[in-house]
A and B are shown apart, each in its own frame.
Chain A
């Protein structure tokens, strides 16, 4: 099958499309496809031209670290978690996450996620084990990969300058729910950097690899805000 990849040699270079031929089976994950293209004796594109190896980021290769987040056939997904047999058509299109600066090929700089969470200065001041009904949601939020897929798909998230996106809403709820004491600051941050900018498309929930219900976090925060 043909694999069309949006490539970019370095942060300041012009992006360009390059097509490769993949000859393996349909059971492969997109991560396996990238490895297969990279580790042939010579890496050549579909026209037989020698080219550079394709840069992409990975660590766990089993959907638990979020390293390999990219846009696959137009949908933000994890490469290790996406299988050819589940995709339609005979063309596989791979692009880097478009809302983050590209470093090289499919590798992007997601530092803005850490920066914004730092700006929000949210942490568990004094731990409070809230009622068990919140446990399931907190457990899911605790699994957040900080992969950026929810930001990529969100129609309201641009560059993270004012609107920090769904993962921020989830972390806000996590902190508010598990902390004792005054929650005024986190509620204010949530209002300013999420609530007033969210148009509730809920696209974030469709792409989240660990199935976090941002809607439930929003409901929790809204209840808290009214209190």
Chain B
């Protein structure tokens, strides 16, 4: 029986672990904290699937909408696979006890989301991700009881064990023992989520920082489409973070407006008609940006009963963190970094360019092209986890000895630890966020991107000289270099794509260009970052 090491225990990691274990494969599921702390619990609005098609909707239409929303660079084979599997996935989640909302006929409730021809977002209030996590954790626990899944907490990813383009496991860091150890496995699955830490305040979890993608990149793993960073159109500003106002608020009828001389301008409806508020996120964010004004979201006309029944968490959030009663008043919203279409490059089977190394969920790039449709992320997280689990071959791999590498890395940590410096590494993360926000806004240009690269190069130049702050978790300190490397790869990718498409908008190249009707693959070799453009269908294999 083979062994798979899964790094990350959000929805994609859980789905992969459950599917592997159900095949009889032994799983080690690693995360610093329990799944309840994962970013997956923040996913609010729902999961896309055509369950009945009785209103004229079809899987073909789901595929078309997804490809169109992704601005025609997502691979059709991959999207077809995901959309076709979606109904089974929702039924599987239901069978595990996910508490979906129900309509009057007892069927799973669905709502309209942006970019959809028909409403197909199946939901559990506005806590769909949380309800799915609860169900998956319970199922994983059943398999833990059978000895098929072993969970390890307080454990961080340090690096992969890669030799001659084959992965043999990972180096893991324990905050309890403050040491690195090699954990060998026949396959490794990365399920570490997006790259929020690059930007500082986002709608996501502080735990999702992109370190694993950056570290793997430096170890020879290709990354893809990094420049496509989704700005969700509706977040509220708080002192600690930008908090998401779920697209469900607009799905239920919410309207966007700004004020001009005392009257409301419903600009999305003026631009795109009745469905204007539910255009894909890239378009809504761009339009908000172009107003140059404070934009508001109004749901008050829906009435208190409907608001409390359909979007209760949105009501609670606005009341608690901004003291705004959305049953009476509009809420000021701003676009916020929310989702990363780019990430680790994988093929249809979710394997990377390194043998036995897979990536799933938001840290992998697949399905969403240049812009993700709302409701497709939970679907992609589960689908990708199941696809990877189904692709992993149940066969043993003999691993070389890694004791020297482990000893070297523990030596490096020890050397840093002896430092008397108190310089907080979190300051560098803060400066990184400033640089990235300045250069990777909703609209970019060559000058800003070049400035960003210069800043990151400077931080990379000093990263190795920055001494550990002993009173921080060591993870924050050793992860800095990988995060900086990832940031540079994102900026390089954005520089290379000299067009505007989806979530990548440039005011120096404002038009879409057929020359870039492809995915960006970026590789790292000895400090050199090399980008190339590859047709998605070609890359998928």
Contact = CB atoms under 8 A, between A and B. Distances in A.
A59 interface: yes
Contact of B124 (A110, A121, A139): A139
A81 interface: yes
A192 interface: no
Contact of B424 (A39, A64, A103): A39
Given A59-B33, A132-B106, A139-B124, A52 B470 contact: yes
A114 B36 CA distance: 11
B84 interface: no
B471 A52 contact: yes
Contacts of B320: 63, 81
A25 B339 CA distance: 32
Most chain B CB neighbours (cut-off 10 Å) among A28, A58, A65, A81: A65
Contact of B37 (A52, A59, A123): A59
A99 interface: no
A166 interface: no
Given A61-B241, A114-B34, A142 B131 contact: yes
A65 B134 CA distance: 12
Interface residues of B, number: 56
Contacts, number: 134
A80 interface: yes
A165 interface: no
Given A60-B42, A80-B240, A178-B97, A146 B141 contact: no
B240 A121 contact: no
A173 interface: no
A75 interface: no
A66 interface: yes
B145 A64 contact: no
A124 B96 contact: yes
A59 B205 contact: yes
Given A57-B37, A61-B240, A127-B96, 18 more contacts: A27-B239, A29-B239, A39-B430, A62-B42, A62-B321, A64-B130, A65-B37, A65-B205, A103-B176, A118-B141, A121-B141, A123-B142, A124-B95, A129-B102, A132-B106, A139-B127, A142-B131, A175-B138
Interface of A: 27-29, 31-32, 35, 38-39, 42-43, 50, 52-53, 55, 57-67, 80-81, 103, 109-111, 113-114, 117-118, 121-124, 127, 129, 132, 135, 138-139, 142-147, 174-175, 178-179
11 contacts: A32-B239, A39-B426, A53-B469, A57-B33, A66-B37, A123-B142, A127-B94, A135-B99, A139-B131, A142-B127, A179-B97
